[in-house]
């Protein structure tokens, strides 16, 4: 089945005609082949992404790491069906046809100011006409997971920046997508809030087994979170390196920073980003 609006192919279920799971598809959530994007700019074209080949496994935590302007948001918007790729193909292998393939958490706060925490988190489920019982169960579950139960009736103007981003995360999970897309979701937060939310995200990811694609420009954040780091350069955005930080979880960045493995990885990533010199976190 092909969605004409987004050019995304959605294939489900992961079973063949006899109901047997197809192992090769059961492990793949997303498949990108030669994916590219050209924007029309004035009378010309701007190539924002080029030749991206990638398979993302079900339940994998993938970080896309790259400098500003290299096409990370464009890639995420294409994966989220908000933008259409102009080259190559994009397929989602889904477990169930009734679920949305993706939900996005944006960098900037994108919750509705006129809705309470509860109604914001319930928004996607209501739009899909989910049953009242399911909405109640799912919304209360994820509001609890992000620690906002005492604030469920509050409105966004009564919340801090970190709490608003928690609402976005709860809303994205409550939608029950197969893949969660997060675009620098914590970059506007202070260090303490950022660390807390990273840990909450990891805990929910481990409990739900969702596939996650997380965009960041922070090397430390990518190493802390990811099963696999895709280093991006551009424009046109393309993958320059793939790393699998195999540090045991839960990871402790302070302890990791002292290890030769961590220093080697940061050095390699900096090279992939085209930056030399001492490891630093930000690549503005
Ligand atoms: N709608 C658009 N039209 C034209 N150019 C765009 C559009 N969206 C993004 N771009 C360009 O594509 C490049 C990548 O942008 P973006 O994906 O936002 O990068 P990143 O998220 O890595 O900072 C930038 O040069 C940006 O100006
Ligand atoms: Mg961006």
Over residues 169-191, the pLDDT tens digits come to: 999 999 889 899 999 999 888 89
Distance in angstroms (rounded) separating the CA atoms of residues 279 and 200: 26
* Percent of the chain's residues with pLDDT above 70: 89
45 lines ligand 1 (CB under 6 A): no
DSSP string for residues in 131-172: -HHHHHHHHHHHHHHTT-GGGTT--GGGS-HHHHHHHHHHHH
pLDDT value at residue 96: 75
Distance in angstroms (rounded) separating the CA atoms of residues 123 and 10: 23
CA–CA distances in Å: residue 201 to residues 81, 89, 145, 166, 194: 23, 29, 9, 9, 10
Ligand 1 pocket, mutate which of 67, 74, 236 (most atoms under 8 A from CB): 74
Average pLDDT estimate for 17-21: 55
* SS3 (DSSP) at 49: strand
pLDDT at 203 over 70: yes
Residues, CB within 5 angstroms of ligand 2 (ion): 73
Residue predicted with more confidence, 49 or 9: 49
pLDDT band of residue 277 (cuts 50, 70, 90) is low
66 lines ligand 1 (CB under 6 A): yes
68 lines ligand 1 (CB under 6 A): yes
The number of helix segments (H) and strand segments (E) in the chain equals: 9, 10
The answer to whether the CB of 71 falls within 8 A of the CB of 48 is yes
Residue predicted with more confidence, 62 or 7: 62
Nearest to 72 by CA among 185, 169, 181, 183: 183
71 lines ligand 1 (CB under 6 A): yes
Protein residue whose Cα sits closest to atom 14 of ligand 1: 71
Residue 116: count of CB within 10 angstroms of its CB = 17
pLDDT value at residue 190: 86
Taking the CA of 182 as reference, the closest ligand is 2
Nearby residues of 164 by Cβ (< 8 Å), 6 or more positions away: 109, 111, 156
Q: What is the pTM of this model?
A: 0.90
- pLDDT per residue over 53-83, tens digit each? 999 999 999 999 999 999 999 999 999 999 9
48 lines ligand 1 (CB under 6 A): yes
Taking the CA of 65 as reference, the closest ligand is 1
Residue 20: count of CB within 10 angstroms of its CB = 10
Distance in angstroms (rounded) separating the CA atoms of residues 38 and 50: 9
pLDDT value at residue 284: 46
pLDDT value at residue 143: 95
Sheet holding 61-66, edge to edge: 102-105, 179-183, 211-216, 61-66, 228-233, 238-243
Both structure tokens of 14:
């992961």
Q: Kindly provide the b/e burial profile for residues 55-84, where b requires at least 16 CB atoms within 10 angstroms of the residue's own CB.
A: ebebbbbbbbbbbeebbbbbbbbbbbbebe
* SS3 (DSSP) at 184: coil
12 CA to centre of ligand 2 in angstroms = 30
Protein residue whose Cα sits closest to atom 27 of ligand 1: 69
Average pLDDT estimate for 249-268: 94
Distance in angstroms (rounded) separating the CA atoms of residues 179 and 266: 27
Lowest mean pLDDT among 23-32, 37-46, 200-209, 265-274: 23-32
pLDDT value at residue 61: 96
pLDDT at 106 over 80: yes
Protein residue whose Cα sits closest to atom 16 of ligand 1: 71
pLDDT band of residue 282 (cuts 50, 70, 90) is very low
**H or E segment to which residue 46 belongs:** strand 44-57
* Percent of the chain's residues with pLDDT above 90: 69
pLDDT band of residue 5 (cuts 50, 70, 90) is low
Q: What are phi and psi of 280, to 5 degrees?
A: -135, 160
pLDDT at 162 over 80: yes
For the packed helices 117-127 and 161-174, what is the interaxial angle rounded to 10 degrees? 30
- The CATH class given to the 59-84+98-272 domain equals alpha beta
The answer to whether the CB of 181 falls within 8 A of the CB of 213 is yes
Domains in the chain: boundaries: 59-84+98-272
pLDDT value at residue 21: 52
109 CA to centre of ligand 1 in angstroms = 19
pLDDT value at residue 3: 56
The answer to whether the CB of 13 falls within 8 A of the CB of 58 is no
94 lines ligand 1 (CB under 6 A): no
pLDDT at 105 over 80: yes
Residue predicted with more confidence, 256 or 3: 256
pLDDT at 17 over 80: no
Average pLDDT estimate for 120-139: 94
166 lines ligand 1 (CB under 6 A): no
């Amino acid at each position: 089945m092909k969605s004409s609006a987004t050019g995304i192919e959605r294939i489900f279920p992961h079973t063949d005609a006899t109901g047997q799971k197809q192992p090769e598809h059961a492990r793949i959530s997303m498949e990108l082949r030669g994916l590219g994007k050209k924007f029309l700019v004035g009378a010309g074209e701007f190539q924002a992404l080029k030749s991206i080949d990638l398979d993302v496994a079900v339940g994998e935590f993938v970080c896309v790491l790259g400098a500003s302007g290299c096409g990370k948001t464009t890639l995420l918007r294409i994966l989220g069906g908000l933008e259409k790729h102009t080259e190559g193909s994009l397929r989602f292998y889904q477990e169930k046809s009734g679920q949305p393939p993706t939900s996005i958490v944006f960098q900037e706060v994108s919750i509705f100011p006129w809705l309470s925490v509860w109604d914001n988190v319930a928004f996607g489920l209501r739009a899909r006409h989910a049953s009242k019982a399911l909405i109640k169960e799912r919304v209360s579950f994820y509001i609890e997971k992000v620690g906002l139960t005492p604030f469920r009736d509050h409105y966004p103007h009564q919340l801090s920046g970190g709490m608003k981003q928690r609402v976005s995360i709860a809303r994205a999970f409550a939608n029950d997508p197969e893949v969660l897309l997060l675009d620098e979701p914590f970059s506007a937060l202070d260090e303490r809030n950022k660390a807390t939310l990273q840990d909450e995200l990891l805990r929910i990811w481990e409990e739900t087994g969702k596939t996650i694609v997380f965009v960041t420009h922070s090397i430390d954040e990518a190493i802390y979170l990811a099963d696999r780091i895709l280093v991006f350069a551009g424009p046109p955005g393309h993958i320059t390196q793939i790393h699998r930080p195999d540090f045991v979880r839960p990871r402790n960045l302070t302890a990791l920073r002292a290890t030769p493995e961590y220093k080697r990885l940061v050095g390699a990533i900096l090279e992939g980003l085209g930056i030399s010199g001492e490891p630093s976190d930000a690549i503005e």
